[in-house]
Structure 1
Amino acid sequence: MDPRRSAQDVLRCDLCETPVPPYYCDLCHVNLCKKCAGEHLLDESKEHKVVPIKQRRSMSNCPECQKHTPKQSELYCEQCDSPICVQCVSSGEHLGHKVVGFTEKLQFKKEILLNDLQELEKSISPKYQALAEITTVQKSELNKNSRKLTLAIDKQGEVWHREIDTIIQKLKSDLDEMDSKHLAVLNKGEHEITYNISEITQIIADLKKLLDSNDFYHKKLNEAVFSSAGGIICELAHSTSSCHSDEEIWTCSYNKKIMSLYNLQGELVKSVQTKSGYNPQDIAVTRSGDLVYTDYNDRTMNIVKNTQIQTVIRLQGWRPRNVCSTSSGDLLVVMDSDDYKQTKVVCYSGSTEKQSIQYDDKGQPLYSSGEYNPKYISENRNLDICVSDFRARAVVVVNQAGKLRFTYTGPPSTTKGLFYPCGITTDSQGRILTADYYNNHRIHILDQDGQFLRYIDNYHLQDPWGLCVDTRDNLFVGEYDTVNSIKTKLWKKLHGHAI
């Protein structure tokens, strides 16, 4: 065994292997015999500090050499970045490498570590401490803001819930009102149907009796049941009329500012003068029995309660022409623009505009325009809106949403003159009646889908102008005669079974 490798070997000179060397170089970290100590001091290439071996500095910080146990790594190779012993150097393994004392290297690294420690303690750590404190504050603020936002959301949610509840309640209320209005219409229709059934039953009974009698009585029965049952109710120049009840009728004249209520015996019940002093353009009776009239010159729509007149609507840029009351209590008004270039139908609930009807799906006007161009209007049982357009020579019908359903311009073939519709009304069966005023002296009857059914032209009509029907389907016709007066006549069931 190599005595230098043995754990039992005594301490020797690191340069000549002389046992028990008396000296030690603290800077070079080598053991020196007396001879080598003198030579070692003569080496002026670096500084030396030779002391008695018992006075050498402790090397307890030097690690044990990994290759030459139990030698201590008193040196440090910079190139290999590792601690080495003196024997590692003498072996030539680190020849040409920069070798420094391990203690120096240790001290250098301690200084680096100390600088790092000071930078961490004095600069970096305080910054992160400050960041930590800021983060803590931000977390606190975030939590506080989150609670505030949660509270605000809860409050807004309560507001929205209340609004939604209000909307739902309003929708339910509107639905109840709509149901009530529709029920009233249905009840009215049921009443009319019951009345008609009663009359039909009576006619059937009379016809059965007639079968057992002579033909002479057949003619008398037809005349008794279906012929004209009334005469002249009133005579007014250029007038229109509206049924107040089954026993009374309102009339007005275009060249007089008076509106008059007559009973079926032709007796004047009462009369009302327009508020403005101008002539009324058209009249209608509401579901509650109040009279409504349009004032073309004053641009107003007015309602008469008893004898008090209240202006409901005053237009700007438009003038109201004809009017009708709907089954739901609204008003449908035909109006012209001030320049007579536009015409539209507007639906009002009270004084609030609900709907405006002016153009078809292609953006074309539904109604003709012009200065002298009367357009009567009526709502059918299926809620269609029917307008007689005099200048367009057509009946224009739209549905409740304002979409065009059809346009009637007369029957497919006729031997008479051009079709000029004036007054228009509907009956309990949803049929449409319109007066064909100009030279034809007849009334057209259509079904609710615009199919021509028949004429009324066999009752010696003379220039029929205004039409209205009461709840029993009694028809009132206003005639415009050659001496500029209107004769309002009553026929019972004029458009019924007899035609």
Structure 2
Amino acid sequence: MDPHNRAQDVLRCDLCEENVVQMHCDTCLVKLCKTCVGDHISSDEREDHKVVRFQFRKCIPVYPTCALHDSKRCEMHCQQCTVPICFICATSEKHVGHRFRKIVDIFDEKKREFEKKIKDIQENIRVKHADQASKMEKRIADIEKEFTILLDTVSKHGEELKREIDQIVKEMQSEIKSIRKNHMELLTTRKTEVQQNLTEIDKEVSSLKERLDSNDINKVFHFTPNNKIYKSLSDDPVLTMPVFSTKRIDSVQLREMFGTLSDIVTKPTAITKVRLMETPLMVHRIATGYSHLYGVAFLDRIRIWATGDAQQIKLFDVNDNSIKKSIDTKLSGEKLVSVTIEGDLLYTEKGGRTIHIVKREQSEKLINLQGWRIQGFCVTSAGDLLVVMTSVSDYDRETRVVRYHGREEKEIIQFESKEKPFYSVGPNQKCICENRNFDICVADRDACAVVVVRQDTKLRFRYEGNPSSLRKTEFKPKGITTDSLSNILVSDLGNGCVHVVDQNGKFLTFIDCPRVQPWGLCVGLDNYLCVADYASGDVIKIWFLQ
């Protein structure tokens, strides 16, 4: 039986719970059938039972019996002692000077309060919970549909490949099903919570109605509705659909080249929404074997490229710190590294003119500049290449950012306005990255600033450090990267920390790196920050988002 519609059911005898109600005891407020009247009266002969036909039942308040005077009813309420009292108690020394109220007045006030609570629950709280339950039902259906499409896409891509990748297809489907299960469990759990709340709300309404219809003062007087606990609704779980990105098959790394699922957030916002931690934690160090470490770049979730004061660029597993691969560049100076969206390594020498790409263990030239030297570069989310370069000429020197698509030059980003350049001219490296909102972010060490330019090549802001918090030297940015919240992270070598600013240039916090000289930076898919420690040659893995 639906508690919400209980009033529509036939009333049954309170004693036998089977026969239809015909009589009513006005003394005990008990519903009776004719058969049970005798049993009820004989059950307590001390009471003066007033049994009448149900339709003629009276609505006379049943006052509580005085705890001190058995034969007296408590018709007053002592405001100081907050207890019901009879007339004899009211005239006793115990209550001299106390203020009294008629208990029936408080009884009526309580009933009016219950009426308001019932209205609030039925017209507001229950409606909201019912809407959310409906919303969860629709979201579950939508998620199921989207995952079905995603699974079909993976299957079609797998069918186009050779027999040796069948096992990889199964593994990818297993990952998707696991994520789908996680999504469904979160949504189903939330739906169950909402439905449980609805059940409790219905019970609360039923209980309030029972007391609203009751003349039992004890029953009404000592009951307090719990509307407040149902007023606030938890936020819906944030579910990000993974995106399947296909890759060209490589016979050496089939699993890696088959494709990847995008990073996902599957936890309820109210509990684990991704945010900056108040106190970031150093998780562990990766010993690279370099005396000095310059740059780091994630290949995937667990592997990271590192470059230092040697010709070799090394690939490490961030979990077990083991070396997976080493590339001999034949370059002895400081090297800059990045990774294409296909997973190919890019590298160049700082101040050099050539960007190399490593495919199938072989290095080849991707871009070769004339009249310009490379100061920094990065790969964009669209697969383009952004290169910071400074002119070779000692006269009329310039710095600019050039966007390449493959080997083709697409765009030059150089001037804020006529003859007013974005970037300084100087010998230092200028690290660059693309933010998630497609801003171009350059750590301009010679200008002591981070220069952020919008996708339409308009200046968004310049960040020149946080003067109130500088502890040793002026702000001279070195490495730069971004996170999943579109925050910009900049290494401050002289002050041993990483500055974190939002996408609009507002300073958020420092990530202190004690006894570390932070150089290059990168953030992985699991939201861990990896810092190249120039002094020790180690990669420092930091947990800074939760």
Q: In which range does the TM-score fall when normalised by the shorter chain?
A: 0.5 to 0.7
> Relative to 1, partners in 2 of residues 1:235 and 1:364: Cα closer, same or farther, differing over 3 Å?
farther
State the Cα distance separating 1:401 from its structure 2 match.
2.4
> Relative to 1, partners in 2 of residues 1:411 and 1:437: Cα closer, same or farther, differing over 3 Å?
same
Structure 2 runs not aligned, ≥5 long: 1-239, 246-259
2:503 to 440, 444, 448: 448
> Relative to 1, partners in 2 of residues 1:454 and 1:187: Cα closer, same or farther, differing over 3 Å?
farther
Q: Is 1:336–2:390 an aligned residue pair? A: yes
- 8 Å CA contact 2:375–2:390 kept in 1: the answer is yes
Q: Hey, what's the Cα distance between the residues in 1 that align with 2:493 and 2:408?
A: 34
Match in the other structure for 1:194:
265
- 8 Å CA contact 1:278–1:297 kept in 2: the answer is no
Amino acid of the structure 2 residue aligned with 1:426: T
1:300 to 354, 359, 375: 354
Amino acid of the structure 2 residue aligned with 1:409: E
3-state SS, counterpart of residue 240 of structure 1: strand
Q: Is 1:403–2:458 an aligned residue pair? A: yes
2:301 to 246, 253, 263: 246
Match in the other structure for 1:260:
314
- Deviation per residue, 1:21-59 (Å, 9 max, x gap): xxxxxxxxxxxxxxxxxxxxxxxxxxxxxxxxxxxxxxx
State the Cα distance separating 1:436 from its structure 2 match.
0.8
State the Cα distance separating 1:312 from its structure 2 match.
1.0
3-state SS, counterpart of residue 391 of structure 1: helix
Q: Hey, what's the Cα distance between the residues in 1 that align with 2:370 and 2:269?
A: 49
3-state SS, counterpart of residue 301 of structure 2: coil
- 8 Å CA contact 2:384–2:405 kept in 1: the answer is yes
- 8 Å CA contact 1:398–1:405 kept in 2: the answer is yes
Amino acid of the structure 2 residue aligned with 1:418: E
Match in the other structure for 2:106:
none
State the Cα distance separating 1:279 from its structure 2 match.
3.5
State the Cα distance separating 1:412 from its structure 2 match.
5.1
Alignment root-mean-square deviation, CA: 3.0
- 8 Å CA contact 2:345–2:357 kept in 1: the answer is yes
1:388 to 443, 446, 452: 443
> Relative to 1, partners in 2 of residues 1:325 and 1:415: Cα closer, same or farther, differing over 3 Å?
closer
Q: Hey, what's the Cα distance between the residues in 2 that align with 1:297 and 1:395?
A: 20
State the Cα distance separating 1:486 from its structure 2 match.
2.7
Q: Hey, what's the Cα distance between the residues in 2 that align with 1:411 and 1:187?
A: 40
- 8 Å CA contact 1:258–1:279 kept in 2: the answer is no
- 8 Å CA contact 2:346–2:356 kept in 1: the answer is yes
- 8 Å CA contact 2:350–2:429 kept in 1: the answer is no
Q: Hey, what's the Cα distance between the residues in 1 that align with 2:351 and 2:311?
A: 12
Mapping of residues 36-51 of structure 1, within 5 Å? none
Amino acid of the structure 1 residue aligned with 2:446: R
State the Cα distance separating 1:367 from its structure 2 match.
1.0
Q: Is 1:426–2:482 an aligned residue pair? A: yes
Mapping of residues 64-463 of structure 1, within 5 Å? 191-195=262-266, 197=267, 227-236=281-290, 237-253=292-308, 255-264=309-318, 265-274=320-329, 277-279=331-333, 281-296=335-350, 298-339=352-393, 341-371=397-427, 373-411=428-466, 413-416=468-471, 417-438=473-494, 440-457=495-512, 459-463=513-517
Amino acid of the structure 1 residue aligned with 2:373: R
> Relative to 1, partners in 2 of residues 1:348 and 1:454: Cα closer, same or farther, differing over 3 Å?
same
Amino acid of the structure 2 residue aligned with 1:344: R
State the Cα distance separating 1:184 from its structure 2 match.
11
State the Cα distance separating 1:299 from its structure 2 match.
1.2
State the Cα distance separating 1:231 from its structure 2 match.
1.9
State the Cα distance separating 1:187 from its structure 2 match.
7.2
Q: Hey, what's the Cα distance between the residues in 2 that align with 1:304 and 1:473?
A: 26
Amino acid of the structure 2 residue aligned with 1:473: N
Q: Hey, what's the Cα distance between the residues in 1 that align with 2:285 and 2:374?
A: 32
Runs of 4+ in structure 1 off by over 4 angstroms are 183-191, 198-204
Amino acid of the structure 2 residue aligned with 1:250: W
Q: Hey, what's the Cα distance between the residues in 2 that align with 1:418 and 1:353?
A: 36
- Deviation per residue, 1:464-489 (Å, 9 max, x gap): 111100111111011122xxx43211
Match in the other structure for 1:490:
541
- Deviation per residue, 1:338-364 (Å, 9 max, x gap): 136221111110000011111112421
Match in the other structure for 2:228:
none
State the Cα distance separating 1:415 from its structure 2 match.
4.5
- Deviation per residue, 1:262-319 (Å, 9 max, x gap): 1112211111111x54445300011111101123465111111131111011110001
> Relative to 1, partners in 2 of residues 1:475 and 1:308: Cα closer, same or farther, differing over 3 Å?
same
- 8 Å CA contact 2:337–2:348 kept in 1: the answer is yes
Amino acid of the structure 2 residue aligned with 1:356: I
- 8 Å CA contact 2:316–2:322 kept in 1: the answer is yes
> Relative to 1, partners in 2 of residues 1:423 and 1:199: Cα closer, same or farther, differing over 3 Å?
farther
Q: Hey, what's the Cα distance between the residues in 2 that align with 1:235 and 1:191?
A: 32
- 8 Å CA contact 1:433–1:444 kept in 2: the answer is yes
TM-score norm. by structure 1 comes to: 0.53
3-state SS, counterpart of residue 256 of structure 1: coil
Structure 1 runs not aligned, ≥5 long: 1-182, 205-221
Match in the other structure for 1:473:
527
- 8 Å CA contact 2:498–2:511 kept in 1: the answer is yes
Q: Hey, what's the Cα distance between the residues in 1 that align with 2:270 and 2:362?
A: 42
Q: Hey, what's the Cα distance between the residues in 2 that align with 1:190 and 1:448?
A: 25
- 8 Å CA contact 1:376–1:387 kept in 2: the answer is yes
Q: Hey, what's the Cα distance between the residues in 2 that align with 1:433 and 1:337?
A: 27
Q: Hey, what's the Cα distance between the residues in 2 that align with 1:190 and 1:306?
A: 23
3-state SS, counterpart of residue 413 of structure 1: helix
Larger Rg: 1
State the Cα distance separating 1:374 from its structure 2 match.
1.2
- Deviation per residue, 1:436-478 (Å, 9 max, x gap): 111x111110000111011111x52522111100111111011
> Relative to 1, partners in 2 of residues 1:476 and 1:461: Cα closer, same or farther, differing over 3 Å?
farther
